[in-house]
Amino acid sequence: MKLLDSGSIAATAIIRYPLRSSMLLLAIAIGVSAVLILTSLGEGARTYVTKEFNSLGTNLLIITPGKIEIGGNASAASIGQAVRPLTLQDAMAIERSPYIESILPFIGGSAAVNFDGRERNVNIVGTNHNMAVIFDYEMAKGGFLPAIALDKVSQVAVLGGTVASELFQNENPLGKWLRIGDRRVRVIGVVEQTGQSGSVDVDETAFLPIAFAAQVFNTESVQKMMANPRDADVMEAARKDIVRTVMARHQGHDDITVLDQGAILNTFNSIFLVLTSTLGAIASISLIVAGTLIMNVMLVAVSQRTAEIGLIKALGGQRRQIITLFMMEAAILSFIGAVLGVLLGETAIYLMRELYPAVEFHAPLWATMAAVALAVLCGLLFGIMPARRAAALDPIEALASH
């Protein structure tokens, strides 16, 4: 008997018993779609986190004062340990490192900002021109902070969209002078409405050159720095050079933490991959449950068609042919069920994306293929026993069951 022929005989049986077939299809479809939906949750979370990290660029070193021990979960500062601050001079020394392309120092705080009698408390970020580059700000008016030496005090400010519109209303803020604390600063730019970017709520913030911000807050210390190495290949060399440079300036104390953005991202990625696989594996259990249903339904099929099996035997059908017929039926049912499951799962995932556009839910290809393969495999495995039972029937008894 040709495979195609056994396929078409199996197909007529599937069509002939629609209730039995559709129950089975439904069970398999639910199993497969469960795998897709659950893995899409894991994958959605992973891409969400990755995207957040990637918006900073992956080739970034993050430098903070104080030493975070591996395995610890609190920075030195947060547990009250005295921390030697990172200074602007430290930042300039790091900037001179041959491995470093650019750095982005950061001082944050808040201050009262005053223009023409209107006063407002505003987040202040002291930084340099690199901030707009790394975080990809669009300018609505003017330019971002000028590219000047880190220790050069320049009394200029760039405003977030909300700050500018609330202080200046319909006036053009460019070139206007406002007061921050007791200092006068000139507005040189306004950032397009951006919302939250990294840890900064851009629209509610005024950006100052770092040396000037240090004066406003009357401090020497830089809270955080990001350093961009010349090349992805020199990440490790750059990290070591930063540690060495700062140690030399801190009387030999290794008292800073340098985190590799890419390494953090990789860790997150592998955590989420394990999470997604685990979710997929849990969902696969439903496929195995569907498999036991396949076995039941195929056993029913064998007893419904006992006379037919007897006839096929009388007509010269071999054991192997009868096994093929029933296995084919189980395989076709589980494959169609799997395809329906993929459609069902993808539809559900599409709806999830519509409901929560921020998270890009999608089932990874490997999960889809594994679910379909597992469904068909279950169909075949759980189809073996009923098919063998059919093949072992005594032809005389089978014919008499009519």
Partner 1 sequence: MIELVDICREFTVGEERVQALKNVNLKIEQGEYASIMGPSGSGKSTLLNVLGLLDTPDSGKYFLNGSNVAQLSDDELAARRQQVIGFVFQSFHLISRMTALENVELPMTLSGLSASKRRKRAEQMLERTGLADRMGHRPDQLSGGQRQRVAIARSIVMEPRLLLADEPTGNLDSKSGSDVLALLEELNQEGITLVMVTHDPAIGDRSRLSLRMHDGELTAERKR
300 binds partner 1 (CB under 8 A): no
Alpha carbons within 13 angstroms on the beta-carbon side of residue 103 total 29
Least distance to partner 1, CB of residue 327, Å: 16
Nearer to partner 1, 279 or 312 (CB): 312
- Rounded Cα distance between 166 and 354, Å, is 34
Question: Looking at 47, 165, 296, 321, which residue binds partner 1 (CB under 8 A)?
Answer: 321
Least distance to partner 1, CB of residue 17, Å: 9
317 binds partner 1 (CB under 8 A): yes
Nearer to partner 1, 62 or 399 (CB): 399
310 binds partner 1 (CB under 8 A): yes
274 binds partner 1 (CB under 8 A): no
Nearer to partner 1, 13 or 37 (CB): 13
Query: Considering only 35-43, 148-156, 275-283, 313-321, which stretch makes contact with partner 1 by CB under 8 A?
Result: 313-321
How many residues make up the chain in this entry?
A: 402
315 binds partner 1 (CB under 8 A): yes
369 binds partner 1 (CB under 8 A): no
402 binds partner 1 (CB under 8 A): yes
Nearer to partner 1, 261 or 324 (CB): 324
Question: Looking at 15, 147, 232, 365, which residue binds partner 1 (CB under 8 A)?
Answer: 15
Contacting positions for partner 1 (CB under 8 A): 1-2, 5, 9, 12-13, 15-16, 307-308, 310-321, 395-396, 399, 402
